[in-house]
Amino acid sequence: MTSLAAFSRVHTAAAGLEPQSLGENLDITPALMHRKGLLHLLAVEGTPKEALARIQAAYYTSPVFDLGRCLAEALADAYDAEHGLHAMLPGALVVLGMDVYLVGTPGMLAWITRYEGVQRAFDTYRRIGLPVRLPDRLSRTIDWEIAAGHWRLTAGDTLLAVAGGREVLDDARALRLAMRHSEAQHLAQAAMELLQRHSSDPVGVLVCLTGGFSPVPSMPLDPPAAPQRVKPIDDGINRRRGISPIWVALLIAALAVVATMQAAGRESVIGALSEYIELAFAPHPTPTPSPEPTATPGVAQPSLAAAPRLLAPSSGERLAGGQVRLAWDWHRPLTGDELFDVRLARAGQTTTTLELTDGNEVIYSPTRTGWYEWTVVVVGGGDAGARQVSDLAMVGSFYWSAD
């Protein structure tokens, strides 16, 4: 386990990774570091050091300006040169200032946690990360596409990247680990211990923690100076003397009221004054007609039934030779024009309809070695996608080879 301090505000810590794979141990110039950032390889312990050195040299000597594409090409060349390297080194990331570039295969996962919230930052199974278009390769040791992602961290963000452990870590566990451990090294150690308890495969953890901020400013220790007494300004003008004009106006108004009462009668004057006072201080409310509400037409959204359950092959299963049997079940029999829409595609591509059937299994004959993804949904109307009846089943995956 190695604790790292990046040249930016992003502090890095690792657990279960080769020390040579971490950017702090690289001998590069500050100018190159500020142009291409710090390269961290998610290489578990036991990864060949020669392969790590080749990737680092290819990345820092490449003239490609796009950091994500440059790193993807370096990883693809290393995977082609050494068979099985992608299992020990599923991905890498580059820290440049507050920007993080993630490049890897399905064996790499990453989360960003902030203020009691969590977000997946890299997961090829969930299409989080765009596939990188690479030039033609000679060996194609790995059959799936390499994906890349770019994130800009803010104050208080924590990025947790793991090599392996897909079945162990999820969003909720990643958030709990980040909330319990505020230091990068403690978080990396806790995540590593959790992965080792539930997984027998080699695993590694890399944590990038951005520096936070203090909401309370520093205050001076000395007591504030006593306020000086402000001397009132005296311009020497004497106060006004005599009778105020307001009292003169009130006296004239009272005389006018008395004269009116003498001329028109006391009762009529009091009645008129009462009406004026009532209008001024208690006016009668005037009803305002309001339009009658009209009903807003709405479209009822049909509720979808539960998704079918995939039975065989199990997710992640490796098959060899022959045909592949895809089997599933549903909680009730099909009715009317309902059919099972079986959808399949190679890993990294969008699933499309393979077959419409009213049975619970189909036979598929693969033609290319590699990973495949498949799912099942119940549709109505006799055509795929005409009317969806159930939710989409959780996507399953399997690996097929000819021998």
Whichever domain contains 344, its CATH number is: 2.60.40.10
Residue 287 lies in a domain: no
Q: Are residues 206 and 352 in the same domain?
A: no
Contact 184, 207 (CB under 8 A): yes
Q: Are residues 16 and 159 in the same domain?
A: yes
Cα dihedral value 80, 83, 84, 86, nearest 10: -10
Residue 264 lies in a domain: no
Rounded distance, CA 262 to CA 203, Å?
Answer: 107
Residue 238 lies in a domain: no
Q: Are residues 32 and 167 in the same domain?
A: yes
Q: Are residues 60 and 205 in the same domain?
A: yes
Domain finish residue from 210, 242, 274: 210
How far, in whole angstroms, is CA 351 from its chain's centroid? Answer: 24
Whichever domain contains 182, its CATH number is: 3.60.40.10
Domain finish residue from 175, 210, 245: 210
Q: Are residues 40 and 178 in the same domain?
A: yes
Measured in residues, the chain has a length of: 403
Residue 99 lies in a domain: yes
DSSP 155-207: TT-EEEEEES-TTT--HHHHHHHHHH--SHHHHHHHHHHHHHHH--S--EEEE
Exposed / middle / buried, residue 168 (Cβ in 10 Å: 0-12, 13-18, 19+)? middle
Residue 155 lies in a domain: yes
Rounded distance, CA 201 to CA 19, Å?
Answer: 19
Number of Cβ within a 10 Å radius of residue 318: 10
Number of domains observed in the structure of the chain? 2
Q: Are residues 200 and 345 in the same domain?
A: no
Domain finish residue from 190, 210, 230: 210
Domain boundaries, position 340: 309-401
Q: Are residues 12 and 138 in the same domain?
A: yes
The whole-number pLDDT of residue 4 equals: 40
pLDDT per residue rounded down to tens, the chain (403 residues): 333 444 457 888 999 898 888 887 777 788 888 889 999 999 999 999 999 999 999 999 998 888 999 999 999 989 888 888 888 999 999 999 889 999 999 999 999 998 778 999 999 989 998 888 887 766 665 666 789 999 999 888 999 999 988 888 899 999 999 989 888 899 999 999 999 888 888 899 999 998 765 444 555 556 667 777 766 665 555 555 667 888 888 889 888 877 777 776 666 667 766 776 776 666 666 777 777 766 566 555 668 888 898 888 888 888 888 888 899 998 888 888 888 899 998 887 888 888 888 888 999 988 888 889 999 998 887 655 578 888 888 888 998 888 7
Q: Are residues 348 and 203 in the same domain?
A: no
